[in-house]
Structure 1
Amino acid sequence: MTTMRAVAAGGPDHKLVDVELPMPSLRAHDLLVRVAAVSVNPADVKIAARAAGKPRILGFDAVGTVVEVGSAATGFAAGDEVYYAGDITRQGANAEFQAIDARLVGHKPAQLSVAEAAAMPLTTITAWESLFTHLAATPDTTGSLVVVGAAGGVGSVLIQLAKLRTALHVIGTSSRQESSDWVTTMGADVVVDHRSLAKSVKAVAPEGVDALFSSYSTGNIQDFAEIVKPFGHIVAIDDGKLDLGPLKSKSIAWHWELMFTHAMYSTPDMASQGQLLNEAADLFDAGSLRTTLTTELDDFSAAGIQHAHDLVASGRTIGKVVVRR
């Protein structure tokens, strides 16, 4: 086989299109994976909206089966089921096959279905790095954490991890009853209305909070400055030009989290992502973490993946949308 079917961004009107492309070439550390399912993240939707010209294969969450192992790749063999979030600088998972650096890959949780597992890599890595790397949380960490955008994919995992592996009091934000119910199910101690963020947080934490995670920062910096305690910490994952000046008087630390940084810069600790996915797989298999899959589609074509993009772009979805082959 010299070519493969794939779904590319960059079609007319920024729609996805079916294409045939050469099979990916393996680098020394790579695995060649036959892709079984992908999930759609806001990053896919944003990049697709800007794509033009040369077809670009998106897809930053995948589950599949290893079919070939690169000369320097370790820990995997042909036939292994794997899950991973990939590398934004390379072609993605919306294809029959994908070449992916083995250091970014984990063994699929045995107790999750293909679709349930495909929902989890990007959000799990992002939540894990936000909580344990940037906020340096440990089992002994107490105090309060606000999760802005708590019903989103990352927020849903972050809440679970915070309740499982820290002693933090978790305050989730939402704007709809359906979202509030979901956030409560994920384990938040209390849910507040993010349309009146400062007022609603201060009603349950009048002295302020120790830390805050944000997936919606634009227009909220003044509220963040009001509710976060002096010398507190904020970690954010969204885009936007932000004036962080209001945080200065309280010496509030601002952290950016982008899970693609490890792969983009081949950082020395790049393998930490594969390691944390394996650790998370144990938690999924033990029932300590739950999948956030809510919508499963069975049309692995441009039309099917475009439908998933449209659902995510609506801003009304709760949990993750997965497309199976």
Structure 2
Amino acid sequence: MDVNHHQRYTLPDRSFANILKRDIARLAEGLGFSASEVGKINIIVSEMASNLVKHSPQGGELLVKTIGEKASALEIICLDNGPGMSEPRRMMQDGISTTGTAGEGLGAIKRQSDEFDLYSQPGSGTIILSRVHRAAGQVHPPQRQSRFETGVVMVPKPGEQLCGDGYAIIEEGNNLYLIALDGLGHGANANEASQLAAQVFQSNYKSDLPVNLRLIHTLIRRTRGAVGSIAHINVARNQISYCGVGNIAGKIFCPEGGKQATTCRNIISYNGILGHNIPTTLNNQVAEWNNSRTLVLHSDGLRSRWDLNKYPGILNHDPTTIAAVLFKEFSRQTDDTLVMVVRNKV
């Protein structure tokens, strides 16, 4: 599956808008997007950049990556640290503006996007998620309907080209198998460790979780080492199993009334480092899983003290939007960062 990290495009001031637009257009052209699809992407990026200039004077950024088989779509996430909106749905209507402009920006982004989501609240800025599908990338037999929704934001440490975090997700019928990884340090050596660990996991994803972790531990000894957590969701059994080594953390949420993001389980791992030293005893942890539950896993690039209850209604949004909110609000910015969000597709 596609496990590309997001590329960061910062916009410290208005003068960078054209550079940002040009670079993302070149990326899309190089991936085989048609002229009309690149045109859509240009409009989306232009409007996002305009919003950042108007509403995020301290600077904002875009996260961009390809998704799907054969780079069949381009995902663009706008991270706006501005004042946020009290009525985001109203602000998407053409003609509505807080800065005296034509008020067509959010509506234009939504119209040009094949998939669109927006989360905003006063005091916490705004997240805009846009995906544009490449028509040529859709020419393949229709795939089985997925039972799960997953969202991932993975970003290298500022200044690094490779990401030392990594992950893998495998869906098979009623089952979802995943691993979240963080190679020690950052850069090429950390990337090597996490990528090798992900490959070992994918070759043995049906193994008992502690067995798979021990195999990863053995086979990545020549690398710098990594920490990692494996989870297995079985929809038919309404069950999630997980086991981890090192500081991959996370939570399982059980929303109350569709608004409160109540934590029903903290994801806790064993002390140790895969490839160096792991406990003699590793056991699966098992919890209830159903359509109302959401799993969040993250590397230590995200600060540990975060609370989704500060973001009313966030669990009703696209999993990638949830991951982007956590990244924007809680990323340390001194390390690689991985945030994974998983739930059943209802």
Structure 1-normalised TM-score?
A: 0.32
Would you tell me which structure has more helix in proportion to its own residues?
1
Structure 2-normalised TM-score?
A: 0.31
* Structure with more relative contact order (C-alpha pairs < 8 Å, separation 6 or more): 1
